[in-house]
A and B are shown apart, each in its own frame.
Chain A
Amino acid sequence: MKTVFLTIDVEEWFHLEYLTKYNLNKDSVETVPKIFNFLDMLDRLNIKATFFVLAEIAYKYADIIRDIRSRGHEIGCHGLDHELLHEKSDEQFEEEVIKARLILNEVLGEDVVKGYRASCFSMDRNKLDILKRCGYIFDSSYIKFVQHPLYGHLDLSKYNKVDDLIYEKDGFYEFEIPTIDIGKFNLPISGGGYLRLFPYLLIKILLQLYSRKHDNFLLYIHPFELTNIRLPFPEKLPFKDKFRASVGRRHNLKKLEKLLLKLIKEGAEFKTIGEAIETSNTMEEKDELYFSNRV
């Protein structure tokens, strides 16, 4: 693997899509303040990641978000709230992405937020164009996961594929969430849920298969997957959902470290999305310079 993008959607456990319909005891357990073990691990491995922060929790965890940034990671935006984008009008979306970015920049004390990830990857083309208009430089919500009803079908026509998983149009970039084709299915192996669910050996095999066709890889995880504190699930929660939310949390941090170490050992370079865009821009500039010198 050439480049790996480690991404974290900074939200609480109760933002999980399948928990929202319940009446939850939200304040009793917080998982975001348990993120420091993970941040220390990234420091140890010298990995810089991209954190998409949900703006509605940014004031509450301002100290944590600042610490993430001061450790050299990139801060992006995960929306103002966690509602799916299909449920928002374009006008509402525009208003909210502007506001969310203002909140995050205010917390950080600097204009640094350039990227966006839609809740449950529910991005569509109209909203992508709005995002660009509002001053964002990249989005990372594109997933080719056809079986899942939640995930949107983002139309990327007129975008150029500039690198594996990376698409560009007029200086705006889309970073794809990778999946792996197995028969007629594609599995989103990049997700925290799959990392928790599959045994390490299986993940290794799937990655091997994946790397035959891909140069780059992207991982997305959530704070609740990086700690094993008990989550106060509602009693009525069906077994399936309880399983989805809790499977493999106990040793996940260790498993993740093993996976990251393996990727480092194989020569993968971890980059924030912003860094990747910068490199590709400077390369482009060099190319342009080269060609203009020749003319």
Chain B
Amino acid sequence: MSYILVTGCNGFIGNRLTRALLEEGYEVLGISIEKETKIVHRNFKYISIDITDCLSVEKLFQENSISTVMHFAAIAHTKKGQKVDWNTFYRVNTLASKTIFDCAARVKADVIFASTVDVYGACEDSILTEKSIPQPVSDYGISKYLAENILKEIAEDKGINYLIPRFAPVYSKEFMKDAYKRIYLKYPKIGFIIGQGLKYHFLSVNNIIDLIVNWIKSDNKFIGIINVRDSEPIDSAEFINLERQFGKVAKIIRVPRWLILLIEFFIDSMYRITKNYKLLKLRTILYKIVNPNKYSIDKMEQLIIQKWNLRNTVCDNEKIINI
């Protein structure tokens, strides 16, 4: 008996992934920092572990037969409502990942490492492909990018299969926070539209699950990095319309595109004079608001035909509304 190890199995994606894998008949070993899990299944084994505790992680690999590692445990932007500093990002997202990749390579397990489009950071290619050179700006993006490079090096050295999906901002029926940031000034009443509305690249959690199940079943595994997002971008004006059908967005504020460009130009000039790194971060954020990143999915589309978009992820089947 060999397990699929899912790290962060209590997390937003990890939890759904674990359930999907169990449904497909796999044996899953789930780990997370929390004491307990809500997942109950005869093919599921849970161990509470702090992944920064590298000695315990090594023990876990010695005591269990693991054929595939799906590394989803990570620290995002806050931890229990507190801001996270670089030291913590590095220790959890980079160092602990290195431990896990080393262990996986030792037992020749395949590895999927959940990365993020945040690694592209300040890269200004008009379309971001897997060949674009990442210039991560956020601590989160930097810590993930470092881990990507560690995995590539280990996997190529030890000859193991690996997949590094770079996920666009993820939403699900229950979790719309990242998507809402693009249309709400104040949820659920005040929305905003920049110009005529912009197209944003998002990712339904259901598409992630399909992609990963597909990869693990494949005999001829794709190896390397791929951008992952919904095939259909979300148009903010359409998104607001959809929300209005649920009785939300009583008021819409229209922001002219030039206004944001002007502010961005001003901050950029300030940055060139002061060289203050915080200004660069702010500038990048503003730039990304009016020029939303476009991620190429040529590679992804060779791997999977997507079933999910915003509408069928968010709405119940019978209530799908055509807009």
Chain A interface (Cβ within 8 Å of chain B)? 33-37, 59, 62-64, 66-67, 107, 227
Contacts and interface: CB of A to CB of B under 8 A. Distances in A.
B20 to A, nearest CB: 31
In the complex, which of the residues A34, A62, A63, A227 has the most CB atoms of chain B within 10 Å of its own CB atom? A63
A62 B54 contact: yes
Nearest to B99: A63
B52 interface: yes
Interface string B246-258: 0000000000000
Interface string B88-111: 101100011001000000000000
Nearest to A34: B87
A55 B86 CA distance: 26
B55 interface: yes
Interface in B60-106: 85-88, 90-91, 95-96, 99
Q: Is the interface of B mostly helix, strand, loop or mixed?
A: helix
A107 B96 CA distance: 15
A37 B55 contact: no
A37 B86 contact: yes
Given A63-B96, A63-B99, A36 B91 contact: yes
A33 B88 contact: yes
Contact of A62 (B55, B85, B86, B90): B55
Contacts of A35: 87
Nearest to B88: A33
Contacts of B88: 33
A66 B85 CA distance: 21
A37 B96 contact: no
A4 to B, nearest CB: 25
Contacts of A63: 52-54, 91, 95-96, 99
Interface of B: 52-55, 85-88, 90-91, 95-96, 99
28 contacts: A33-B87, A33-B88, A33-B91, A34-B85, A34-B87, A35-B87, A36-B86, A36-B87, A36-B90, A36-B91, A37-B86, A37-B87, A59-B55, A62-B53, A62-B54, A62-B55, A63-B52, A63-B53, A63-B54, A63-B91, A63-B95, A63-B96, A63-B99, A64-B91, A66-B54, A67-B95, A107-B55, A227-B87
Q: Which 9 A-B pairs have the closest CB atoms?
A: A63-B54, A36-B87, A34-B87, A36-B90, A63-B95, A62-B54, A62-B55, A63-B52, A67-B95
Q: Is the interface of A mostly helix, strand, loop or mixed?
A: helix
Nearest to A58: B55
Nearest to B57: A63
Given A33-B87, A62-B53, A63-B95, 15 more contacts: A33-B88, A33-B91, A36-B87, A36-B90, A36-B91, A62-B54, A62-B55, A63-B53, A63-B54, A63-B96, A63-B99, A64-B91, A64-B95, A107-B55, A227-B87
In the complex, which of the residues B52, B53, B54, B99 has the most CB atoms of chain A within 10 Å of its own CB atom? B54
B60 to A, nearest CB: 14
Contacts of A107: 55
A59 B52 CA distance: 11
A64 B55 CA distance: 12
A34 B86 CA distance: 9
Contacts of A37: 86-87
Contacts of A62: 53-55
B123 to A, nearest CB: 22
B316 to A, nearest CB: 45
A105 to B, nearest CB: 14
Contacts of B86: 36-37
Contacts of A59: 55
In the complex, which of the residues B87, B91, B99 has the most CB atoms of chain A within 10 Å of its own CB atom? B87
A67 B95 CA distance: 8
A64 B98 CA distance: 12
B49 to A, nearest CB: 13
Nearest to B89: A36
Contacts of A64: 91, 95
B180 to A, nearest CB: 33
A107 B95 CA distance: 15
Nearest to B91: A33
Nearest to B55: A62
A212 B53 CA distance: 47
Contacts of B52: 63
B41 to A, nearest CB: 31
Contacts of B90: 36
B58 to A, nearest CB: 9
Contacts of A67: 95
Contacts of B91: 33, 36, 63-64
Nearest to B96: A63
Contacts of A33: 87-88, 91
Contacts of A227: 87
A107 B53 CA distance: 11
A67 B87 CA distance: 12
A227 B52 CA distance: 20
A205 B87 CA distance: 34
A222 to B, nearest CB: 16
